[in-house]
């Protein structure tokens, strides 16, 4: 049976990262572009400012299916520490859309690579190979 790999594992493999660097790397890519400098300052001033973002990234990191993202995004939207003018008004936080794009790109690329490099005959672009499989011939 093939093990199902999480987004965190696949992201680290794709970008050649140590697993401990997953959250840091995804945070840098998922923050709104205008938020980077102010976000670092806010976390420095208030260590718990990024708690909702880190919870969100860690939760999404465990996913292996894109479909499950919406439950995590909903929880993030209603996270008790995801309130206030800086987070909601100025969007000094992680963008759920940017994080979903990272998840989608990572899971899609990996699924495609696995499907096309698989030892099984499916999927195939060669109609003759499909006919051989259907007929049961090697």
The span from the CA of 8 to the CA of 22, in Å, is 6
- Domain limits of the chain? 7-135
**Would you say 9 and 19 are in contact if contact means Cβ atoms under 8 Å apart?**
yes
Element of type H or E holding 41: helix 36-45
Which pTM value belongs to this model? 0.76
Higher pLDDT among residues 129 and 8, named by residue: 8
Phi first, then psi: what are they for 121, rounded to 5°? -75, -5
Average pLDDT, the chain: 83
The span from the CA of 56 to the CA of 22, in Å, is 13
pLDDT digit string (tens) for 59-102? 999 999 999 999 999 999 999 999 999 999 999 999 999 999 99
* Residue whose pair of structure tokens reads 């008790």 in the numeric block: 80
């Amino acid at each position: 049976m093939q093990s199902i790999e999480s987004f965190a594992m696949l992201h680290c493999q794709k970008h050649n990262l140590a697993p401990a660097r997953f959250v840091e790397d995804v945070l840098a890519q998922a923050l709104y572009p205008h938020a980077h400098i102010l976000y670092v300052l806010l976390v420095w001033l208030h260590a718990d400012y990024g708690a909702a973002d880190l919870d969100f990234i860690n939760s999404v990191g465990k996913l292996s299916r894109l479909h499950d993202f919406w439950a995590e995004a909903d929880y993030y939207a209603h996270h008790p520490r995801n309130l206030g003018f800086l987070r909601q008004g100025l969007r000094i936080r992680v963008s759920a859309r940017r994080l979903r794009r990272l998840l989608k790109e990572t899971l899609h690329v990996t699924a495609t690579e696995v499907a096309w490099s698989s030892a099984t005959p499916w999927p195939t672009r060669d109609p003759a190979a499909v006919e051989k499989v259907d007929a049961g011939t090697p």
